[in-house]
């Protein structure tokens, strides 16, 4: 996909990078990325993906901007309070980079619409704030063979990983699914919501920006990704650790007792 003279100047610092270059920038322009959530993680991620020149950004969110969001959700401003987050996100992205097409999905993902939305994108970034959505997104990405970058926030901590469960590693072993990492959600009530526990706003910026790097990596193909690795960030003490995890034969998606592909896909068409 050809770049215009204006785009060549806009992305000049990318193009001079050996790992990106003109070919990589053209891949970004042709890419379609879906962000689940325009909140703490989605805000910085969408801004950097737009600045990087990802050609089409989809935004899923059914919420409206509230004043308490603005401490960390930098995609939105005071004048956007009360407006749909998808609308605010679209305005911010277009203001930053008019070359990016924004597709808004002002809805809450559920079993009835997840497949319809996700199947039209190349890479999915999940910044949702609940386990039900995370499992739904990861399962749907597996069935539609979409790379998934998923991040979660705590009060002073965050986690990030990349899922390519529809592929195998260099040894031919299946890549792990999200359910290999977290077989079951934690018991109800054990993980307090942001409204109860609080969060240091800049934590969202760190996690969202790193998530954007993983999305760009998935499109361009540079370096070593977080497939099979969970990056754990303790920003209270400025410690970063990486936990390795593997495919589990007991997982319900690609495990040894999982349904046949035709059966699995029937619910996602």
Q: Residue 191, SS3?
A: coil
Residue 180 is a catalytic residue: no
Residue 89: how many CA atoms within 13 Å on its side-chain side? 36
Q: Is 126 exposed, middle or buried (0-12, 13-18, 19+ CB in 10 A)?
A: buried
Q: Residue 124, SS3?
A: strand
Number of other CB atoms surrounding residue 207 within 10 Å:
26
Q: Residue 102, SS3?
A: strand
How many Å apart are CA 52 and CA 220, to the nearest integer? 12
How many Å apart are CA 46 and CA 176, to the nearest integer? 26
Residues in the chain: 269
**Among residues 81, 91, 194, 232, which one is catalytic?**
194
- Show which residues are catalytic: 194
């Amino acid at each position: 996909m050809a770049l215009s003279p204006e785009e060549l100047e806009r992305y000049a610092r990318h193009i001079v990078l050996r790992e990106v270059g003109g070919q990589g920038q053209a891949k970004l322009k042709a890419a379609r990325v879906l962000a689940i959530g325009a909140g703490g993680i989605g805000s910085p991620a969408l801004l950097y993906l737009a600045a990087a020149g990802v050609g089409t950004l989809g935004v899923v969110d059914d919420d409206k901007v509230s004043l308490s969001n603005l401490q960390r959700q930098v995609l939105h401003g005071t004048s956007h309070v009360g407006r749909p987050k998808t609308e605010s996100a679209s305005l911010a992205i277009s203001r930053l980079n008019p070359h990016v097409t924004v597709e808004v999905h002002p809805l809450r993902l559920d079993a009835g619409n997840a497949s319809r939305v996700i199947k039209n994108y190349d890479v999915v970034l999940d910044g949702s704030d609940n386990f039900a959505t995370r499992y739904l997104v990861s399962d749907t990405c597996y069935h539609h063979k979409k790379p998934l970058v998923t991040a979660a926030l705590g009060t002073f901590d965050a986690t990030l990983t990349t899922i390519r469960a529809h592929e195998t590693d260099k040894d031919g072993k299946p890549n792990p699914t999200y359910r290999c990492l977290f077989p079951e959600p934690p018991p109800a009530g054990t993980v307090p919501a942001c409204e109860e526990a609080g969060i240091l706003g800049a934590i969202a910026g760190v996690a969202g920006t790193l998530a954007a790097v993983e999305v760009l990596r998935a499109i361009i193909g540079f370096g070593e990704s977080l497939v099979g690795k969970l990056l754990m960030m303790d920003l209270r003490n400025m410690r970063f650790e990486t936990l390795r995890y593997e495919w589990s034969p007991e997982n319900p998606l690609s495990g040894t007792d999982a349904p046949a592909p035709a059966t699995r896909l029937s619910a996602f068409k």
